[in-house]
Amino acid sequence: MTIGDYLLYPGSPSKLQSDLDAEALERARLRQRGIDSATFGPDLLEHEARHSDQWKHFDPGTFLVLYFSGTALSYLITRTDGKANPWEIGANPYKGGYWTYDKPLTPGWLKPVGNCMIGLCW
């Protein structure tokens, strides 16, 4: 979770390193298949850095209201907190682990719309 410029990670430094190693492995697997792993691969720290950028455009109270409105919207659409949250999509949901390259999303329109939001319309 990112609050402003602070990343709150609910684990130890060893666990974070293990997670980052797993992400690097997954990106390597995608690259081997010819897939743009810098876009479609997991990268928690870059995802959280984008959240940090989102915070700077609003005062903290406003951002929290907007973010959790997005959470509510996501829950209505997907029954999950983040898969359709515009703020998670804006921070690249592939990097944040909400979307996986090979897994389809329900509803079917979500992925093309979300891809457009992160500049991947075509």
Partner 1 sequence: MLVRRRTRVSGRVVGTFAALATLAGLAACRPAAKPLAAVRLDGGQPTVLLATCPDFQIDAISVYVESGSATAAASGPGRRLERTGPQAPDRMPLLGQPPAGWSASDSSLTALAPGQAYGLTAYAHAQPTLTITFTAEELAALGVGEVLVGKQPSSHEKVTEKEFRKRAEDSC
Provide the binding-site residues for partner 1, judged by CB under 8 A. 1-19, 21-23, 25-26, 41-42, 44, 47-49, 51-52, 55-56, 60, 64, 67, 71, 80-82, 88, 96-98, 100, 102-103
Helix, strand, or coil here: 3? strand
Angstrom distance (rounded) from CA 94 to CA 85: 13
Angstrom distance (rounded) from CA 32 to CA 68: 37
| Complex with partner 1: residue 63 or 115, whichever CB lies closer | 63
CB of 57 within 8 A of CB of 87?
no
The minimum distance between CB 113 and partner 1, in angstroms, equals: 20
| Complex with partner 1: residue 76 or 121, whichever CB lies closer | 76
Helix, strand, or coil here: 93? helix
| Complex with partner 1: residue 64 or 116, whichever CB lies closer | 64
| Complex with partner 1: residue 19 or 117, whichever CB lies closer | 19
The minimum distance between CB 53 and partner 1, in angstroms, equals: 10
Query: What is the chain's alpha carbon radius of gyration, rounded to the nearest angstrom?
Result: 15
> Structure tokens of 78?
């997907």
